[in-house]
Amino acid sequence: MRLFGCGLVALALAVGLPPGRIFAWTTPTRIRMADDAVRISSPAFARLLYRHLDEYHRGVAEEADSQIEAGRDLSTGPHGRRREAAEQLSKLVSQTIEGLSNHEPMREICYRAGRICRLVADLNHPIHTGSTPGEAELRSAVYYDDFARYAEGVAARAPLVFYGWRDDLRTVKDVAPFALEIASRSERDAEGLYRAYHSRGAKVTSSDFDDRSIPFAVASLSYSRTVSDTANLWLLVWSRVGGDLRGTPYLGGASSRRPGRARG
């Protein structure tokens, strides 16, 4: 694990929370995830995204499309749509590579980069992916919204952990297995989250959680994993089209570093 401290990003877009129920992560959390992924990406790719900030933020912030609706079951249960989500992510990565190769408008490329982060975030959400006996209850609006708002606060103050570059990932043609790996890893946190909301047989809310609680650990890990997974997929895209990788943090066996900027 490599600790990577980052400062709080002032959002370039005034992106408000969607009305009604929150699905998965809140919009500010998703924007923060994407912005953190940019900071550990190739400087050349980061400049591309910053030049089209509105488009890439729009891709991150928009609710999921009609194929994989936000809040849908991504578990391995009978109604789960995990494989469909994995196939959609793989298709999106391929489309982004093809778009760069075919010199499509950069605003479209950056929008797709944002959508990649959005799908990765959904696959990293334990309530999406969990299939424990209590998961149906945990997926209800009360717990879903409570954890989403709680995770937003955690993201603002918890240290970001970058899990490193996946050299094996850059050689694959289909990232669907990687997406399924993300979901399976995320699923393992669901039971602990459910138990935390039903501590000692009583239902609780996030106001009862402290920074040593399981939900704090789950929110922090899910956040850092989303950032790391997104950065790895962006690196795959950029390297596949021969993009300039010079200056990419931690690439090439660089030692762990702390940039010295506090998060939150």
Read off the CATH number of the domain in which 94 is found.
1.10.575.10
Q: Is residue 5 assigned to a domain? A: no
Q: Is residue 118 assigned to a domain? A: yes
CA torsion through residues 216, 221, 224, 229, sign: negative
User: Which residues of the chain, if any, have pLDDT below 70?
Assistant: 1-23, 64-72, 78-79, 132-142, 200-202, 253-264
pLDDT for 23: 58
pLDDT for 240: 95
Q: Is residue 6 assigned to a domain? A: no
Q: Is residue 10 assigned to a domain? A: no
Q: Is residue 154 assigned to a domain? A: yes
pLDDT for 42: 96
Q: Is residue 248 assigned to a domain? A: no
As given in the structure block, the two tokens for residue 24 are 């998965």
pLDDT for 134: 55
Residue with tokens 């040593």: 212
pLDDT for 201: 66
pLDDT for 145: 85
- Domain total in the chain: 1
Q: Is residue 13 assigned to a domain? A: no
**Could you tell me the pTM of the whole model?**
0.84
Q: Is residue 76 assigned to a domain? A: yes
pLDDT for 136: 58
For residue range 50-64, what is the model confidence (pLDDT) as tens digits?
Answer: 999 999 999 999 875
- Its domain, for residue 183, covers 27-240
pLDDT for 10: 29
Q: What are 3's strand-pairing partners? A: 161
pLDDT for 105: 97
